[in-house]
Chain A
Amino acid sequence: MNNILQVNNLKKYYASQKAVDDISFSVERGGIFGLLGPNGAGKTTLIRMITGIFYPDNGEIIFDGKPFNARQDVVHIGYMPEERGLYKKMKIGEQALYLAQLKGLGRAEAMEKIKAWFVRLEMQSWWNKKVEDLSKGMSQKLQFVTTVLHEPKLIILDEPFSGLDPVNSNIIKEEIYKLAQNGSTIIFSTHRMEQVEEICNHIILMDKGRKILDGTVHNIKQEFKENLFHIGFEQIPGVDDTQIFEVVHQKENSFILKIRDGYKQNDVLRFFLDRNAGIISFNELLPSLNDIFIKLVEGTSITRQFQETAA
């Protein structure tokens, strides 16, 4: 019961490709979950099944402990698609109200919540404006508000920061943290790794419709680390041949070392201490998610090729 969402063996085949091919994972309640993958990996299709837009060909979705029932459960889900938009000619206040009512909120309740959000994100003066008068960043903000307004248990954001300037990005990021603290679960779909590293606790990586990585950011980095360390000196010491490590890279007063199997960090330090080198800094170099991502996905052509499915 600690999982808000559990997906078992989910499949969705299109005529020309396997969009989602046997994917299973679970999302813990209250965390920020990253759904990563290159373009065309099947992220959007997967999300559309979780939000009840598509029916899976196979597999099951457990939402909040019960089999997913689109009709009832959509009110507990807030989804901001990557292909998002608003009615251009509609007034912003009415638009927010309409979308909130579609999520099952009563008029008065919706009104109250919209006003609170508008005050919080300094949007009060927008009420009677039309969407066509807004800049892209502004309408993004509005979109975010309409997504989370009904206090969903599960919030799915597909590329939420695209088109936002750093200031507004930060505002939205803060709001995402706050929502997570208040008990909402957030699924965050993107191909921008630096954001994932910063925000997410747990990630899965998809490629060609399959899951190729699943774990916490910390564990994944540990798993993919290459025992690389950065060591800085007052003055660069001479290094004679040693079994303990090899120097991968030398730059000004520092080395990047790779520790050989069977040795520990302390062996390295001892080695330099014995030679009276003045150590200024010593730290492990973990691979960035970006590196891992590229490494895993490498060889996949940039756009996904069409393939015949036998089903």
Chain B
Amino acid sequence: MNKTWLIIKREYLTRVRKKTFILSTILTPLLMIGILAAITFISVKNMDSEKVAVIDPDNYFEGNLENGKTITFDFVTNVDTSNFEKQGYSGVLIPPRTGFNNSDSIKLITSKNFGMSVSDGIQRQINRAMENNLISRELNIKPSQIDSIKDRAREVPYADMIKGEGDVLKQGNSGVAFGVGYASGFLIYITLFIYGSMVMRGVMEEKTNRIAEVVISSVKPGQLMMGKILGIGAVGLTQFLMWIILIIIFSSIIGIFISPEAMAQVQESQNGMPGSSQQGSEAIRMLSSAQIELSSVNWGMIIFCFLFYFIGGYLFYAALFAAVGSTVNEDPQDAQSLMLPITMPIILAIVIMVNAVTNPNSAMATWSSIIPFFSPIVMMARIPFGVPGTVPWWQLGLSMSLLVAGFFLTTWMAAKIYRTGILMYGKKATWKEMFKWLRR
């Protein structure tokens, strides 16, 4: 045990002290925040802004088209389809005349194709205008009355409740659950690949450097393998923790430099359609309700499960990666082909996970969240929807114990392949041979 500890320490320290580790730990969150900031910046700066002339002699659309950040409607009389470009408009909108029938179309004549967001915005405005117009004309209601009715309708709160233990109603949180489930499933997916292949490369390094036999004359091959897996796992946890801390620090620094108005502007421009004032307030409402929802999610459970599946999934797959690494010789291409059977289930798991976040109760999601090959990724997509609600206790328990059992099984198998593979030089092991080593 003492020797395993020495190995863990070496694996950990040599990696953590590497320049590439320090750089990637610091740069990754910077890069992530930078990319986010750049996307926001570009979307603020590069917003299309179009002026549309409306020729509306019958005042059909009067008062029903709202100007937004990207579209401005001008009700004009001195503009027609032949001269709108000279007047500085990028399009002419011709609403229907009084007494139209449904076969008449509303025409928009433009000098170029508008972008998706602009043409969607215009379409929405037209639909709204038509709706309001028809209602007010045919039912003889003032447009202002329609607005107030709509506002009142929107103000009625909606509560999505889940029946919990003892008939206590809890607020539902599908939106947050979706986000959290997606994010944690994806994070585990990425870590499996990053740190799994780190284990594999570590084993290959020991083999090609010919250090393996020297070390194995002092410790058991199993100890060397476990030491490597645990050491790199600790590296992964460290890097993760650093990322979280750094992201919090960086984003709060950015928060200091950017004024609340600027943030609000960004928010608005992201929602940036015409009528954004209304949508903006809706977004704020969404946000405040999201805060309520966040507080009703069982964070303790989610964090515990995330750590469990993070570590369990890593250990389960790292052993397999180590086994593959031990059977490879100098040629990295051999590694590619041998890795395939391991990477396939991981990729399959992410595909199932994407489906499971939208459909956490499907049979597919349920069963693959129990099978250890997929459970670290798929179960994390289901847990935020509620334990015990979406995920009954027995499923969680079964999934966790199968993962632990699976980890022991893969480690045991890997150790057998590893102890033979690590000392084999000169030829690539075939799957048939590996099965033989397993039976020895």
Residues of A in contact with B (beta carbons under 8 Å apart)? 15, 48, 51-53, 70, 74-75, 77, 79-81, 83-90, 98-99, 101-104, 143, 146
Residue B210 contacts which of A79, A85, A101, A104 (CB distance < 8 angstroms)? Answer: A85
Bound Cα distance from A77 to B216, whole angstroms: 12
Residue B14 contacts which of A70, A87, A146 (CB distance < 8 angstroms)? Answer: A87
- A78's nearest neighbour on chain B, judged by CB, is B217
Query: Separation in Å of the A278 CB from the closest CB of chain B?
Result: 59
Residue B214 contacts which of A77, A99, A101, A104 (CB distance < 8 angstroms)? Answer: A99
A83–B6 touching, CB < 8 Å: no
Chain A contacts of B245 at CB under 8 A?
Answer: none
Bound Cα distance from A218 to B293, whole angstroms: 90
Chain A contacts of B436 at CB under 8 A?
Answer: 15
Q: Which 6 interchain pairs have the tightest Cβ spacing?
A: A85-B210, A85-B209, A79-B217, A102-B218, A81-B213, A85-B211
Query: Separation in Å of the B296 CB from the closest CB of chain A?
Result: 50
A87–B211 touching, CB < 8 Å: yes
Query: Separation in Å of the A79 CB from the closest CB of chain B?
Result: 4
Bound Cα distance from A231 to B215, whole angstroms: 54
B217–A51 touching, CB < 8 Å: yes
B14–A86 touching, CB < 8 Å: no
Query: Separation in Å of the B200 CB from the closest CB of chain A?
Result: 17
Chain B contacts of A98 at CB under 8 A?
Answer: 6, 10
- A150's nearest neighbour on chain B, judged by CB, is B218
A83–B215 touching, CB < 8 Å: no
Query: Separation in Å of the B67 CB from the closest CB of chain A?
Result: 63
Q: A83-B425, A102-B3 are in contact. Are A53 and B214 (CB under 8 A)?
A: no
Query: Separation in Å of the B334 CB from the closest CB of chain A?
Result: 19
B219 at interface (Cβ–Cβ under 8 A)? yes
B423 at interface (Cβ–Cβ under 8 A)? yes
Bound Cα distance from A48 to B423, whole angstroms: 10
Query: Separation in Å of the A227 CB from the closest CB of chain B?
Result: 45
Q: B402-440: which residues lie under 8 A (CB-CB) from chain A?
A: 423, 425, 436
Q: List 18 A-B contacts (CB under 8 A).
A: A48-B423, A52-B217, A53-B217, A74-B218, A79-B213, A79-B217, A81-B213, A81-B217, A83-B210, A84-B210, A85-B211, A85-B214, A86-B209, A90-B14, A101-B6, A102-B215, A143-B214, A146-B214
B209–A77 touching, CB < 8 Å: no
Bound Cα distance from A70 to B425, whole angstroms: 24
Encode contact with A along B197-217: 1 for CB under 8 Å, 0 otherwise: 000000001000111011111
B6–A84 touching, CB < 8 Å: no
- A85's nearest neighbour on chain B, judged by CB, is B210
Chain B contacts of A88 at CB under 8 A?
Answer: 209
Query: Separation in Å of the B321 CB from the closest CB of chain A?
Result: 19
Bound Cα distance from A79 to B213, whole angstroms: 9
Chain B contacts of A52 at CB under 8 A?
Answer: 217
Chain B contacts of A79 at CB under 8 A?
Answer: 213-214, 217
Q: B171-209: which residues lie under 8 A (CB-CB) from chain A?
A: 205, 209
Query: Separation in Å of the B153 CB from the closest CB of chain A?
Result: 67
Chain A contacts of B220 at CB under 8 A?
Answer: 70
Chain A contacts of B14 at CB under 8 A?
Answer: 87, 89-90
Bound Cα distance from A86 to B10, whole angstroms: 13
Bound Cα distance from A88 to B213, whole angstroms: 15
B209–A81 touching, CB < 8 Å: no
Bound Cα distance from A146 to B215, whole angstroms: 11
Chain A contacts of B6 at CB under 8 A?
Answer: 98, 101-102
- B6's nearest neighbour on chain A, judged by CB, is A101
Chain A contacts of B219 at CB under 8 A?
Answer: 102
B210–A53 touching, CB < 8 Å: no
B3–A53 touching, CB < 8 Å: no
- A52's nearest neighbour on chain B, judged by CB, is B217
11 other A-B residue contacts (CB within 8 Å) besides A83-B425, A89-B18, A102-B3: A15-B436, A53-B213, A53-B423, A74-B217, A79-B213, A81-B210, A84-B210, A85-B209, A86-B211, A88-B209, A98-B6
Bound Cα distance from A89 to B21, whole angstroms: 14
A84–B213 touching, CB < 8 Å: yes
Q: A83-B425, A98-B6, A98-B10 are in contact. Are A77 and B217 (CB under 8 A)?
A: yes
A83–B217 touching, CB < 8 Å: no
Bound Cα distance from A83 to B212, whole angstroms: 9
Chain A contacts of B211 at CB under 8 A?
Answer: 84-87
Chain A contacts of B214 at CB under 8 A?
Answer: 79-81, 84-86, 99, 143, 146
Bound Cα distance from A52 to B216, whole angstroms: 9
Encode contact with A along B313-325: 1 for CB under 8 Å, 0 otherwise: 0000000000000
Query: Separation in Å of the B307 CB from the closest CB of chain A?
Result: 30
Query: Separation in Å of the B256 CB from the closest CB of chain A?
Result: 40
- B211's nearest neighbour on chain A, judged by CB, is A85
Q: B204-241: which residues lie under 8 A (CB-CB) from chain A?
A: 205, 209-211, 213-220
Chain A contacts of B213 at CB under 8 A?
Answer: 53, 79, 81, 83-84
Encode contact with A along B39-70: 1 for CB under 8 Å, 0 otherwise: 00000000000000000000000000000000
Query: Separation in Å of the B205 CB from the closest CB of chain A?
Result: 8
- B208's nearest neighbour on chain A, judged by CB, is A85
Q: A98-B10, A101-B6, A102-B6 are in contact. Are A87 and B209 (CB under 8 A)?
A: yes
Chain B contacts of A48 at CB under 8 A?
Answer: 423
Chain B contacts of A75 at CB under 8 A?
Answer: 218
Bound Cα distance from A90 to B18, whole angstroms: 10
B209–A99 touching, CB < 8 Å: no
- A51's nearest neighbour on chain B, judged by CB, is B217
Query: Separation in Å of the A35 CB from the closest CB of chain B?
Result: 16
Query: Separation in Å of the B439 CB from the closest CB of chain A?
Result: 11
Bound Cα distance from A77 to B436, whole angstroms: 30
Bound Cα distance from A293 to B180, whole angstroms: 72
Bound Cα distance from A75 to B210, whole angstroms: 21
Chain B contacts of A101 at CB under 8 A?
Answer: 6
Bound Cα distance from A143 to B213, whole angstroms: 12
